């Protein structure tokens, strides 16, 4: 059976870490990504996210140096023409008392869904992204002037893959290892 348009996007998505330095990202494409994030579902419809779209090269350089102390990870992101700083405000949820309901970090789930909406909207438009979580949140907050109560869920570099090349697919666990029906269990 032929994959649906959504399934094709999901199948083709890769984490892209090398970008075409001479090809900028069109503003309209970014706006489609941001609209996809804005429409994401969230617990109690709290929409606790905020996205800072960074094109400024000086700020991008600061972000690319925002690895945790002693680690030199993710420096490559400076070459992405755009980096989206994906912020979330846990206090918003607490304010509505829902953050304390059940033992769940709702805001983490909320922002993760919104970011993935953006990732898929980028993929659909031929743009590569890579979710980056290995970051020192304080350094990121400083780079974009975010207040202290804001958590940084991810940095999302966006751009066209270098030489039009998409990385190979990474292995996934087989279906029977991650799914069971009617009763929890691992198939042999």
Ligand X SMILES: Cc1cc2nc3c(=O)[nH]c(=O)nc-3n(C[C@H](O)[C@H](O)[C@H](O)COP(=O)(O)O)c2cc1C
Name the site residues for ligand X (rule: CB under 6 A).
14-15, 17, 74, 130-134, 167, 170
Which residues 6+ apart lie within 8 Å of 110 measured at CB? 40, 41, 42, 43, 46, 47, 48, 49, 88
17 vs 79, beta carbon nearer ligand X: 17
52 vs 77, beta carbon nearer ligand X: 77
44 vs 112, beta carbon nearer ligand X: 112
Please name the helix (run of DSSP H) or strand (run of DSSP E) that holds residue 34, with its range, or none: helix 27-38
CB of 187 to ligand X, least distance (A): 23
Query: Which residue in 127, 105, 106 sits closest to 118, CA to CA?
Result: 127
| Distance of alpha carbon 129 from alpha carbon 79, whole angstroms | 12
CB of 155 to ligand X, least distance (A): 8
CB of 161 to ligand X, least distance (A): 12
């Amino acid at each position: 059976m032929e994959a649906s348009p959504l399934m094709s996007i999901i199948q083709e998505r890769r984490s892209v870490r090398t970008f075409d330095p001479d090809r900028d990202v069109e503003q309209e494409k970014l706006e489609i990504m941001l609209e996809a994030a804005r429409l994401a579902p969230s617990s109690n419809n709290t929409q606790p996210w905020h996205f800072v779209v960074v094109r400024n090269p000086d700020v991008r350089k600061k972000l690319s140096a925002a690895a945790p102390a002693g680690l030199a990870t993710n420096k490559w992101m400076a070459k992405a023409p755009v980096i989206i700083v994906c912020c979330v405000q846990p206090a918003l949820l607490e304010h509505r008392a829902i953050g304390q309901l059940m033992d769940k970090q709702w805001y983490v789930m909320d922002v993760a869904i919104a970011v993935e909406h953006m990732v898929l909207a980028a993929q659909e438009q031929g743009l590569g992204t890579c979710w980056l979580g290995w970051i020192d949140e304080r350094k990121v907050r400083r780079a974009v002037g975010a207040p202290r109560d804001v958590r940084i869920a991810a940095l999302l570099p966006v751009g066209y893959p270098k030489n039009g090349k998409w990385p190979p697919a990474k292995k996934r666990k087989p279906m029977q290892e991650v799914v069971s029906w009617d009763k929890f269990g691992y198939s042999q």
